[in-house]
Amino acid sequence: MKKILTACYNLKDRVKLRLQLFLYNLYLKRLIPKVAKRRPVKIMFYVNNLSMWKSDKLLILLNQDDRFDPFVVSFLYSNNSIQDNREIEHDIFTHFSSLGVPVSSGFDFEEYQLYPVTNFNADIIFYPQPYLNKVKDIPRNVLLSYIPYCFEMEDMKHFFYNTVYQNICWKLFVPSPLHKELKAKYNSNHGSNVVVAGNPLADYFFDGHIPSSENWPLDDPKIKRIIWAPHHSILSYDILDYSNFTEIADEMLNIAKKYEGKVQFVFKPHPMLKEKLCNLESWGIQKTEKYYNAWKSLPNCNYVNGNYVDLFMTSDALIHDCSSFTAEYLYVNKPLMYLTKEGRKKPFNAFADACFQVNYHGSSISDIETFIENVIEGIDPMLEKRTKFINSQLTPKGNETVAGTIYKELCKLFD
């Protein structure tokens, strides 16, 4: 298998790739029954960081089944600083230890690189990215599986489709029927390994827990709660080039002040935005810190950086320019406005475009104020169309959870 993986990873010729996949599938048919006989089956989850991890519920189900032995391995990047990697790994260890799940370091801090995969003696590996650009020494006797850490929204075929990894995966779990259609269209294996499971994030919205409102500064039901979530792509040479943050930043603070008494705002920027602003000549560290602190100091505002499930659930609306939130906020079925950037072409795939069509759209401060006024008045003409899309593409079917669907698919190994 190692030779096949190495050859596939470097080949660009589609005909040769399909030949390699044919040979690999023959090998896979012999490997699956061998893995199924092992007890317990050792399932390794590579985890980049907790903000990208959304499969606690699956991990708990597997940990309760004696046939499986799930464990977590930290997957750190060598381009991160030593301090950042140590903090990320500390958070990973703390979180999974609290769940009673074994966790190991996957990163050699002395050599400053990942440990070989063979160190962990896994039977099934859940690798966290849609491509094998960091790990290539996959052992011969391992089944690969993939759960996307986010919705695949961009029409970037070289990134999300027909990668070697996605073609050789034993199970490729996708969040919607539209994603399955895209995999079938673009992948060389025609999506034969694809399972529609839903996005694991959905389980956190539908598990019946009572969300905390601690992120909102005012405990007054008459005052609407609106999130502003700007993306980090503020540079002209960014691959996505989504955000118009620098053009509207000051005006958004003025809006927050203007609607005091009617609206409270949470500033929820992408985690990478602050670093980019600090390095931007027109902003810098001092201006960036002052701006972020302003959102903390206003009586009707707050700055939040972290888990956003409870924040979404307790809000009334979202203003954003983040592709993943175009879909993720739909789980709460509340009005959301996507801020478009003048002259920017949306590089969306079919799923993302369908989500975009049930977002409200705006590009100017006046558009934003109109949206806010409608939220205050409870005006939401997109509700019916949005609900229909959510029911067809995002809502887990029956009483099954996303974690339960993936767990049952893994259990089919023993059939």
- The alpha carbons of the chain give a radius of gyration, in whole angstroms, of 22
Residue 227: its pLDDT value, please? 98
82's CB contacts (< 8 A; 6+ apart) are 109, 112
Interatomic CA distance for residues 321 and 342, integer angstroms: 12
Interatomic CA distance for residues 199 and 396, integer angstroms: 9
Fold of 224-394: Rossmann fold (3.40.50)
Distances (CA, A) of 66 to 103, 306, 379, 402, 414: 18, 33, 52, 21, 13
The tokens 């201006």 sit on which residue? Answer: 287
Which of 145, 220, 206, 240 is closest to 399 using CA atoms?
206
Q: Residue 12, SS3?
A: coil
Distances (CA, A) of 1 to 6, 20, 21, 26, 30: 9, 10, 11, 11, 12
Do the domains at 2-206+397-414 and 224-394 have one common CATH topology? yes
Whether the CB-CB separation of 369 and 265 falls below 8 Å is answered with no
Interatomic CA distance for residues 224 and 316, integer angstroms: 6
Residue 252: its pLDDT value, please? 97
pTM score over 0.95: no
Say how many C-beta atoms besides its own lie within 10 A of residue 238's C-beta.
13
The tokens 């003025």 sit on which residue? Answer: 254
Residue 254, phi then psi, degrees to nearest 5: -65, -40
Indicate the domain borders of the chain.
2-206+397-414, 224-394
Residue 8: its pLDDT value, please? 43
Interatomic CA distance for residues 302 and 327, integer angstroms: 24
Residue 168: its pLDDT value, please? 85
The tokens 């801090």 sit on which residue? Answer: 109
DSSP letters for 369-384: HHHHHHHHHT--TTHH
pLDDT < 50 stretches in the chain: 1-11
Query: pLDDT by residue (tens digit) across 60-99?
Result: 999 999 999 999 999 988 877 898 899 999 999 999 999 9
CATH-assigned architecture of domain 2-206+397-414: 3-Layer(aba) Sandwich (3.40)
Residue 319, phi then psi, degrees to nearest 5: -115, 125
Interatomic CA distance for residues 318 and 266, integer angstroms: 10
Interatomic CA distance for residues 79 and 77, integer angstroms: 5
